[in-house]
Structure 1
Amino acid sequence: MAPPATQFELAQPPNDAISALAFAPDAPSRLLVSSWDKNIYLYDTLQNSGDGSHGVLLQTYENRAPVMDVCFGADGNEAFSAGMDWQVRRIDLETGEQTTLSKHAAPVRRVVYSREHSLLISASWDSTLHIHNPTNLSLTPLAIPLPGKPHALAASPSKVIVAMTSRLVHIYDISALSNALALQTNEPPQPWQQRESSLKFLTRAVAAMPSDAGYATSSIEGRVAVEWFDASAESQARKYAFKCHRTAQPASTTSDTPVDVVFPVNALAFHPVHGSTFASGGGDATVALWDAEAKRRMKVYQKFADSVAALAFSADGRYLAVGVCPGFETGMEDYNGEGRTKIFVRELGENEALPKGKGK
């Protein structure tokens, strides 16, 4: 097979806005995409059809309502979805069979799977987390009440980060969640840490460092914050936030000062190999690479035609998937992503995501 172009567009994209992208844990070309068009799409990004287009749509999984999030499970044949129909589902990607694991009392915003603990965590706008063990469906999912509406969720090897309204951030120890689920306790475990977000405006995305050291959050107001789990004063002094995904407009006739046009930072993803490197994607239609340790921008890719809605690195770190569609900034009344929704896959150069000064 000939190597793909540095960046290519997948054939047969969704018909409406993209809500999430996820690469399989055991296959760098197996990509899941969830969409507001009520479908989940499974692609082989490197298998090409005879017409010269890139990628092959392997299967579509239909839902009754828009799909808000999707993730892989223990392997490349298991997936989980979060829906506007309030349900958390397991999908057998081989047979297409869908099983409801739990039902919330409002739309489910996010799902994350912890391979280290074989746990699935869902976050719903009913202000709860549900903890599931997909390998033991006899266990009743554990419901954990939250003090705010969750908007972003991420899992590191040992922690789950929940970002909510009112700048609330709760961090849970996954082992404690696993133990509470196994014991079927009526007393939900308390957060390992409770924090106030470093960002002043609504959190749009959160991503966990693969090193288990910390996480990054982004807001609707063109900022990203990087924080560490360690609660010591020394570690907390290292946290920082910075402006990004903004464009400067020239000074107007009434003012000599250029004006920043601010865009939401919709997506974050840490590189699985070079753990301090992460990507951000924004409403300004750009993707940037950052070095979290060195506090520097490494790269900005060419501008896309529309807002960047979702990002995902392949498990081997060689590929970055970018979901592009019109943003919701102008409202939903006349929204139409059909024909403008696109998925791009970039094959990273050998040292493209390598932090400066670090060897191979």
Structure 2
Amino acid sequence: MTDTQFSLPSPPFDSISKVQYSPTNPNQLLVSSWDTTVKLYDVGDEASGSKTSEQKCKFDHRAAIQRSATWISGPKKTNIVGSHSDAVSSLVYSKELNALISGSWDRTIRLFDPRTPTPEQSSYETPERIYHIDLVNNTLVVAMASRLFHIYDIRNMQEPKQRRESSLKYMTRSLACMVNGEGYATASVEGRIAVEYFDPSPEAQEKKYAFKCHRQTIDGVDHVWPVNALAFHPIFNTFASAGSDGTVSVWDHKIKKRLRQYSKFNNPVSSIAFNCDGTKLAIATCYTWDEGEQGARTERERPQVWVKTVGAEVKPKDWQA
């Protein structure tokens, strides 16, 4: 089977920090970048020739955008809703609470209501710098430095429901919640993914596991790459992983098997996202700074955002509609 994919026009000129589809429109995609921009695309279908993709608008900021663009509902204008004293590492939006939730290196989680004149609602301290947050229903997962995890019910943020330590030995690089609300997947800089469940009962915790991925033996030497991004399919609850090795794989975590590995890209993959109807996967390829400034001097392809049409390879083997 040949991969069906195309690249979007006018990509950012610096590393891409995040791609994220609209939660309601399968053709609208946000792309944030270290070039200080967030771009909104109307994604077409170049493969069939029925519609051409185009950049609809661009938002310019004063500093690099670090994995912190998200969709919210509200007025169509630019507002400053609040701030942190250090880098904002992650944003999610709760439609139920009308709350924009931010996590930061300043060791706080903050909730804002973008509709109000004074948006900041509350601030909660955490024991470490926050690397990633993700939300499913009312459950917020917070991944921090020192391999710490807190799990909150956003309706009562005074104390986390659970405090956990990562199942992985090295720094958390990515996090995504299961769409069915049962748990989450997390990945590290040393090519491993862990599948975790919210239910604290011994029976549920026996199901959690971790596995190696995004690794390759080259000339007898084992090479290990960071897993930069995870994304769950909105219908099938399988998930995709993306790494600095330039590959994207699809996994069925229930049967603990890889369903598909797509063709390798010429650059590392920094971010991935399924659209809301599960028919497309956005893939950002760019330099991810794993090799520091020396790697940045190497001649390579410019950043690109690819859109891949997905099919049966993302469906569990036992799926019944």
User: Which residue matches 1:88?
Assistant: none
Corresponding position: 1:347 with 2:309: yes
Corresponding position: 1:17 with 2:9: no
Corresponding position: 1:117 with 2:97: yes
Alignment TM-score, normalising by the size of structure 2: 0.93
Corresponding position: 1:320 with 2:281: yes
Letter in 2 for 1:30: Q
The answer to whether the Cα contact below 8 Å between 1:102 and 1:141 also exists between their aligned partners in 2 is no
Matches within 5 A, 1:57-206: 57-68=55-66, 69-74=68-73, 94=76, 97-138=77-118, 140-177=120-157, 189-206=158-175
User: Which residue matches 1:292?
Assistant: 253
Which of 182, 191, 194 does residue 225 from structure 1 map onto?
194
**Larger-gyration structure (1/2):** 1
**Offset, 1:133:** 1.9
The answer to whether the Cα contact below 8 Å between 1:122 and 1:131 also exists between their aligned partners in 2 is yes
Letter in 2 for 1:346: K
Letter in 1 for 2:17: S
**Offset, 1:153:** 1.1
The answer to whether the Cα contact below 8 Å between 2:230 and 2:239 also exists between their aligned partners in 1 is yes
User: Which residue matches 1:271?
Assistant: 233
Letter in 2 for 1:148: E
Distance 2:45 2:6 in 1: 12
Alignment TM-score, normalising by the size of structure 1: 0.83
**Alpha carbons of structure 1 residues 228 and 328: separation in structure 2 relative to 1, 3 Å:** same
Tell me the secondary structure at the aligned position of residue 166 of structure 1. helix
User: Which residue matches 1:7?
Assistant: 5
Tell me the secondary structure at the aligned position of residue 142 of structure 1. strand
Distance 1:338 1:142 in 2: 44
**Offset, 1:296:** 0.8
Distance 1:129 1:288 in 2: 31
Letter in 1 for 2:54: V
Letter in 1 for 2:72: G
**Offset, 1:47:** 6.8
- Show structure 2 runs of 5+ residues with no match: none
The answer to whether the Cα contact below 8 Å between 2:109 and 2:126 also exists between their aligned partners in 1 is yes
The answer to whether the Cα contact below 8 Å between 1:10 and 1:344 also exists between their aligned partners in 2 is yes
**Offset, 1:357:** 1.7
Which of 303, 307, 326 does residue 264 from structure 2 map onto?
303
Which of 237, 241, 256 does residue 210 from structure 2 map onto?
241
Tell me the secondary structure at the aligned position of residue 100 of structure 1. coil
**Offset, 1:333:** 6.2
**Alpha carbons of structure 1 residues 133 and 333: separation in structure 2 relative to 1, 3 Å:** farther
Letter in 2 for 1:60: K
**Offset, 1:101:** 1.0
Tell me the secondary structure at the aligned position of residue 168 of structure 2. coil
Distance 1:118 1:248 in 2: 48
**Offset, 1:6:** 2.2
**Offset, 1:117:** 2.6
Letter in 2 for 1:19: S
Distance 2:295 2:215 in 1: 25
Which of 331, 346, 356 does residue 292 from structure 2 map onto?
331
Tell me the secondary structure at the aligned position of residue 140 of structure 2. strand
Distance 1:284 1:146 in 2: 33
Matches within 5 A, 1:202-221: 202-221=171-190
How many positions carry a matched residue from both structures?
A: 315
Letter in 2 for 1:229: F
**Alpha carbons of structure 1 residues 333 and 166: separation in structure 2 relative to 1, 3 Å:** same
**Offset, 1:135:** 3.1
Tell me the secondary structure at the aligned position of residue 155 of structure 2. helix
Distance 1:112 1:61 in 2: 18
Tell me the secondary structure at the aligned position of residue 317 of structure 2. coil
The answer to whether the Cα contact below 8 Å between 2:134 and 2:140 also exists between their aligned partners in 1 is yes
User: Which residue matches 1:84?
Assistant: none
Letter in 1 for 2:133: L
Tell me the secondary structure at the aligned position of residue 70 of structure 2. strand
- Show structure 1 runs of 5+ residues with no match: 79-91, 178-188, 252-258
When the two chains are superposed, the root-mean-square deviation of aligned CA atoms in Å is: 2.0
The answer to whether the Cα contact below 8 Å between 2:33 and 2:65 also exists between their aligned partners in 1 is yes
